[in-house]
Amino acid sequence: MSMKIVAEHPGGADVLRAIDVEAGTPAKDEVLVRHTAIGVNFIDIYFRSGLYPWPVDKNLVLGSEAAGIIEAVGDGVSDFSIGDRVAYTIPNGAYAADRIVETRHLVALPDAVTDETAAASMLKGLTAHYLLHRSFRVEAGQTVLFHAAAGGVGLIAGQWLADKGVTAIGTAGGPEKCALARQNGYAHVIDYKNEDFVAQVQEITGGKGVDAVYDSVGKDTIAGSLKCLKTFGTLVNFGQSSGPALDFKLSDLAAGSFSVTRPVLFHFTADSAYLQTASKALFGMIEKGALKINVNQRFPLADAARAHRALETRKTTGSTILVP
Ligand code: NDP
């Protein structure tokens, strides 16, 4: 039997409960992975709350990234063997002691990357990768604004931007989070709970504005983010931790001939070649010491509800892990 954490129906953290189900046998091109570490992400909260549509009527197994060890392989599997250490990021199904995964979603873990690091960085690190290389391709010498800089994606992005020679301005809620962001690549950090981030960005850039804003906060920040862009700048909206920005209009872009994009990681990772290339780049950054993955919260898998409450009430920094 295999323990899984499900949301019985959309709602608050109290809809999460543990159930036992048959582990199952891998079919063609599938493997059974015993999880050693599972990542917690804001997308888990969007699914749990019902903001994102459910693929099932009830008992949705949450969780979109994990690492573990292959325990069984199905027919036709040649790239992976029993005992291999692997990780993956796909929507839902990861809050479980083990699960069956199609091999096209798997990446092999190098010795230098621990299971915990992989589970803390597959979804967040590949997100940082596509944001900086695909959504708005950053170049040395540019200046960008990155909201929620002390969060899971934020701490990875800050280090990656610094490695590329980009001046990163971060926002974070409160002095401790600001200090952490500063230690993780951000040249400037604005406490947007207590300061006007638009005025601060204008001051830092001498009134010019930034080349791009990466905004995952949504409702509370989008309008201000547009005011931080230089002419022809790009707004990358990749989340809505404070709620969806419902009053955004295309005509808002006319203020500076701005571009806007609203990307989703899984559209990029559906391409196996991209998944492997981006994972290699992510692990390469970790191996060369340019990127440290901050695992700042750990909970037993059975305590997933506690992890959710911490994340959605802004109590966490960096990555959060569930341990089966
Ligand atoms: P974080 O660790 O960044 O947590 C979210 C942070 O958002 C909080 O810690 C908080 O930081 C900030 N925040 C601001 N307002 C609120 C609010 N009202 N309620 C809660 N948090 C708020 O999460 P993740 O690293 O998991 O994800 C970061 C964002 O990126 C999320 O919005 C997520 O959905 C998005 N994302 C999108 C992907 C995509 O492909 N589109 C893929 C991965 C992530 P502070 O206290 O400093 O304000």
Which tens digit of pLDDT belongs to each residue from 19-42? 999 888 999 999 999 999 999 999
Query: Would you say 287 and 110 are in contact if contact means Cβ atoms under 8 Å apart?
Result: yes
Q: What per-residue confidence (pLDDT) applies to 293? A: 98
Task: Tell me the Ramachandran region of residue 235: left when phi exceeds 0, alpha when psi lies from -120 to 50, beta otherwise.
Answer: beta
The finding on whether 151 has its CB within 6 A of some atom of ligand 1 is yes
Which of the two residues, 23 and 11, has the higher pLDDT score?
Answer: 11
Amino acid at 196: D
Query: Would you say 126 and 279 are in contact if contact means Cβ atoms under 8 Å apart?
Result: yes
Task: Tell me the Ramachandran region of residue 232: left when phi exceeds 0, alpha when psi lies from -120 to 50, beta otherwise.
Answer: left
The token duo for 202 is 């204008």
Q: Relative to the CA of 240, which ligand 1 atom is closest?
A: 32
Task: Quote the ligand 1 centre to 283 CA distance (angstroms).
Answer: 23
What are 262-311's pLDDT values in tens digits?
A: 999 999 999 999 999 999 999 999 999 999 999 999 999 999 999 999 99
Query: Would you say 120 and 39 are in contact if contact means Cβ atoms under 8 Å apart?
Result: yes
Task: Quote the ligand 1 centre to 312 CA distance (angstroms).
Answer: 8
- The residue contributing the CA closest to ligand 1 atom 3 is 151
Segment holding 166, helix H or strand E: none
pTM above 0.85, yes or no: yes
The finding on whether 217 has its CB within 6 A of some atom of ligand 1 is yes
Q: What does the DSSP 8-state code read for residue 135?
A: I
Q: Name residues whose C-beta falls within 8 Å of residue 294's C-beta, 6 or more positions apart in sequence.
A: 120, 155, 180, 184, 317, 318, 319
The finding on whether 314 has its CB within 6 A of some atom of ligand 1 is yes
Q: Relative to the CA of 192, which ligand 1 atom is closest?
A: 48
Q: Name residues whose C-beta falls within 8 Å of residue 265's C-beta, 6 or more positions apart in sequence.
A: 89, 123, 126, 127, 130
What are 100-157's pLDDT values in tens digits?
A: 999 999 999 999 999 999 999 999 999 999 999 999 999 999 999 999 999 999 999 9
Q: What is the DSSP string of 19-68?
A: EEE------TTEEEEEEEEEEE-HHHHHHHHTSSPPSSSS-EE---EEEE
Amino acid at 259: S
pLDDT-derived band of residue 55, with 50, 70 and 90 as boundaries?
A: very high
Q: What does the DSSP 8-state code read for residue 134?
A: I
SS3 244: coil
Q: What is the DSSP string of 70-133?
A: EEEE-TT--S--TT-EEEEE-SS--SBSEEEEEGGG-EEPPTTS-HHHHHHHHHHHHHHHHIII
Q: What per-residue confidence (pLDDT) applies to 23? A: 83
Question: Hey, what's the torsion of the CAs at 121, 126, 127, 131, to 10 degrees?
Answer: 140
Task: Quote the ligand 1 centre to 242 CA distance (angstroms).
Answer: 8
For residue 1, pLDDT beyond 90: no
* SS3 of 230-257: EEEEEEEECCCCCCCCCCCCHHHHHHCC
Task: Quote the ligand 1 centre to 239 CA distance (angstroms).
Answer: 7
- The residue contributing the CA closest to ligand 1 atom 29 is 216
Q: Relative to the CA of 262, which ligand 1 atom is closest?
A: 41
Query: Would you say 46 and 69 are in contact if contact means Cβ atoms under 8 Å apart?
Result: no
For residue 95, pLDDT beyond 90: yes
% of the chain residues with pLDDT over 70: 100
Enumerate domains of the chain plus CATH numbers: 2-122+266-323 (3.90.180.10), 140-262 (3.40.50.720)
The finding on whether 237 has its CB within 6 A of some atom of ligand 1 is no
Q: How far from the centroid of its chain's Cα atoms is residue 129's Cα?
A: 10
| Average pLDDT of the chain to the nearest whole number | 97
The Cα–Cα gap between 34 and 75 comes to: 18
Task: Quote the ligand 1 centre to 107 CA distance (angstroms).
Answer: 25
Task: Quote the ligand 1 centre to 24 CA distance (angstroms).
Answer: 34
Q: How far from the centroid of its chain's Cα atoms is residue 18's Cα?
A: 24
Query: Would you say 91 and 52 are in contact if contact means Cβ atoms under 8 Å apart?
Result: no
